[in-house]
Amino acid sequence: MLELLIDQPLFVGFKADKTLARRLEVLSDLDRQYVSTGDAAMLRICRVGEDVYVGKLCDGLTTDRVEDISRNVLSIIRKLGHESRLSASLKIVACSEIEPRPLLDASPLGS
């Protein structure tokens, strides 16, 4: 039997390639407005080990919203100046809050 975690948020996003990860390390103050730790309208940057994931955190995701959220994530990435080809398929991953860590701290993503 499985337990449904209805109150847990879902992350809709993708693993950033090295070029995008480096671009996210040096966001200008103007571009940082698109990345947030608390605003659902903005991108989230998450780390899994050494990998960097970029996407949106969604509460109560329904199937009719998936395509809109995917387009929104990719649109924001393009606004940040990433010109490489982006994946058309984003992952939907269940997640839970852990000890808060600054989203955009002074250290680069790779360190």
Query: Would you say residue 39 has pLDDT above 80?
Result: no
Range in 57-61, 82-86, 97-101, 102-106 the model is least confident about: 102-106
- What distance in Å separates the CA atoms of residue 51 and residue 6, rounded to the nearest whole number? 27
Nearest-angstrom CA–CA distance, 78 and 81: 5
pTM: 0.75
> 27 is written with which tokens?
């966001």
Helix (H) or strand (E) run with residue 18 in it: helix 18-25
pLDDT of 109 > 60? The answer is no
- Summarised one tens digit per residue, pLDDT across range 47-66 is 888 898 999 988 878 889 99
Distance CA 95, CA 6 (A): 11
Q: In the chain, where are the structural domains located? A: 10-94
